[in-house]
């Protein structure tokens, strides 16, 4: 039967923790979160719908992450981790056998006082053709090893911020071009006064006199009279 994997982060609300746990995490861990404890008897309960489940965590140099896992009514399964000089991430603490598809409950607890238990995430499997009337917890579905993810809000915010900045720069550029063009247009269309010819011109009476003089007829000459 074909299956797929569903990843549940340690901080998912599907996981119920007893007292004695605290939140931690780093960029090398899934979703950058872990749930840690070193108190004997501190436990968690994870209920899922599927056919198997596994638990992953971090091994460091501070102590043995001794834990015990019980799936439904099965016998306890112990895990004794070996401290590492250099921290190792996404290490398998527990992997269940294949169980009938349905609702199951996994309970894990810190087995010894001072054990440094660092839980990172859970993985359970479901059939590809699982019934649609079964409600699955909100989780990340994957077919490969989980990798640290970055906040979608930060990415979207960065993209939107860049777009807004580009729009502001474009608006300022277009306004500057319009302003310069407007000033140039005003300077070209400035109204200039007409030049007035102030040189003296003949008066109208003088013109009339000249015209009359030119058209005046000659007077008859008196001829000499003879005396008889």
DSSP string, 24-52: E--TTSGGG-EEEE-STT-EEEEEEEESE
The closest alpha carbon to 135, from 42, 16, 47, 33, belongs to: 47
226: pLDDT strictly greater than 50: no
Can you name the CATH fold of 3-147?
Jelly Rolls (2.60.120)
How many alpha carbons fall within 13 Å on the CB side of residue 204?
Answer: 0
CA distance 68 to 76: 6
Q: How confident is the model over 154-171, as pLDDT tens digits?
A: 566 677 777 878 888 888
More confident residue, 227 or 102: 102
What is the model's pLDDT at position 204?
47
Per-residue confidence (pLDDT) for residue 214, from 0 to 100:
52
- Report pLDDT for 27: 94
DSSP 8-state class, residue 89? E
- The mean pLDDT of the chain is 78
- Could you report the per-residue pLDDT of 132-191, keeping only the tens digit for each? 445 444 444 444 445 544 445 556 667 777 787 888 888 888 888 777 776 666 555 554
Arithmetic mean of pLDDT, 113-125: 94
Phi, psi for 151 (deg, rounded to 5) = -60, 130
Contact 107, 44 (CB under 8 A): yes
* C-alpha span between 191 and 111 (Å, rounded): 97
């Amino acid at each position: 039967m074909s299956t797929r994997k569903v990843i549940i982060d340690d901080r998912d609300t599907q996981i119920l923790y007893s007292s004695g746990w605290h939140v931690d995490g780093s960029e090398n861990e899934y979703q950058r979160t872990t749930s840690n404890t070193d108190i004997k008897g501190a436990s968690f309960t994870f209920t899922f719908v599927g056919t198997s489940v596994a638990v992953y965590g971090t091994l460091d140099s501070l102590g043995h992450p001794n834990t015990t896992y019980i799936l439904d009514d099965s016998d306890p399964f112990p895990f004794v981790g070996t401290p590492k000089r250099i921290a190792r991430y996404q290490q398998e603490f527990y992997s269940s056998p294949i169980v009938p598809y349905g609702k199951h409950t996994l309970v894990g607890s810190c087995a010894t006082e001072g054990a440094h238990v660092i839980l990172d995430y859970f993985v359970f499997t479901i059939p590809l053709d699982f019934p649609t009337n079964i409600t699955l917890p909100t989780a990340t579905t994957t077919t490969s090893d989980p990798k640290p993810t970055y906040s979608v809000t930060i990415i979207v915010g960065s993209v939107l911020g860049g777009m807004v900045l580009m729009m502001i720069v474009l608006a300022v550029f277009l306004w500057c071009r319009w302003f310069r063009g407007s000033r140039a247009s005003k300077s070209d269309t400035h109204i200039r006064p007409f030049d007035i010819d102030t040189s003296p011109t003949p008066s109208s009476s003088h013109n009339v006199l000249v015209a009359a003089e030119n058209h005046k007829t000659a007077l008859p000459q008196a001829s000499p009279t003879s005396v008889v």
